[in-house]
Amino acid sequence: MKHSARGGPEQYWLTAIKSKASYIIALALLGLVAWAVLFPRADHGPVEIAQELQPSKEARDSAQGTSRMEIAHWALTHEALVQQKEADKELGVELVFYGDSITESWRGTQFGQIIDRAANIPEVFAKHYGNLKAAVYAIAGDTAGNLLWRLHHGEGLSGLTPLVVCVLIGTNDLIYQPNLLDAEAVAANVSTGASAVVDAILEQAPKAQVLLLGLLPRGDRTVEAPPLRYLQPSKFTAAIQATNERMKAYATLHKRVDFVDCGHVFVEKHKDSGDSVLIRGLMPDVLHPSAEGMELLAQCLKPHLKRAGINASRRRLLLL
């Protein structure tokens, strides 16, 4: 059937639509309102994202402490730290560092023995924290579970009233993962362990602020088959980043916890290739910062310590 150019069914529909336009618009608006009421937009603000990412309370509560008492030099180091903590109760402590070999380097030791790798690091410690009453309770090779155990076996904060507690733990946990390449599964495990440690600290030191340090970058290596690989990303990088995201989420939801990621100071772009690489001078063995690296770590922590109430100048003033 043919329509004439004007005055046919086409124009009838046009008029009909025009006359109904206001109804249609009103209906559309009503529909939008109904849609908004029925399907509220998921809110993806920082708090909501943090709630999705943070290790659940149930998972944190079920994290288990694990001792390494069967290793003689670990047991001895732990006993020494328990003794030291008892002495620190008398002295009073303002700043506490908990961690693994990276943190133990502040003392210049590994399992309590002076080690070349940590040469000059105690001097960096003295420079930054010498004016404070600062304690280091760290043992090489510890996982989050090992540290959790120590917190409940004589190395915890009962009897101490620190202003700030720094925690750097989890890089050793990476070694025990069934599949390092499953970054999200690794991150869930490691961040749960680290947050369980912080939960314990918050409970033991109800006034302290906690600085939860993000895992530092590390390189691939086989100790048996050098050379070390400074190139980033390494096989650890994705898992480290995912872990740090979750630890940051946990900190976002806990008033007395600040997440501090100092990892960037150890990485640079290679000037010829443009690749990201660990800076050899700062992390010679692709895992532990050198004295120069620890200096940069201390500088990175400084504003956060200050904000949390640690003030190197304060004690100087008291001593004057």
Chain contacts with ligand NAG (rule: CB under 6 A): 63-64, 145, 176, 189, 192-193, 309, 311, 313-314
Instruction: Indicate the residue among 84 and 311 with the shorter CB distance to ligand NAG.
Output: 311
The token duo for 276 is 């990201």
Measured from the CB atom, is 141 or 309 closer to ligand NAG? Answer: 309
Q: What CA–CA distance (Å, rounded) separates 39 from 34?
A: 8
* Residue 125: how many other CB atoms lie within 10 Å: 21
State the DSSP H helix or E strand holding residue 278, giving kind and residue range, or none if neither.
strand 276-278
24/18 Cα distance (integer angstroms) = 10
Task: Write out the DSSP string of 230-249.
Answer: -EES-TTHHHHHHHHHHHHH
Comparing every residue's Cβ against ligand NAG, the nearest one is: 311
| Cβ neighbours of residue 155 closer than 8 Å, sequence gap 6 or more | 78, 81, 82, 85, 137
Query: Shortest approach of ligand NAG to residue 57 CB, angstroms?
Result: 13
Nearer Cβ to ligand NAG (284/309): 309
Report, in Å, the least distance between residue 117 CB and ligand NAG: 26
Q: Which is nearer to ligand NAG, 118 or 132 (CB)?
A: 132
The distance of closest approach from Cβ of residue 300 to ligand NAG in the complex, given in angstroms and rounded to an integer, is 19
Minimum Å gap between C-beta 135 and ligand NAG is 19
Question: Which CB atom, from 177 or from 276, has the smaller least distance to ligand NAG?
Answer: 177
- Shortest gap between Cβ of 303 and ligand NAG (angstroms)? 12
| Dihedral sign computed on CA atoms, order 197, 199, 203, 205 | positive
The Cβ of residue 1 has, within 10 Å, a number of other Cβ atoms equal to 4
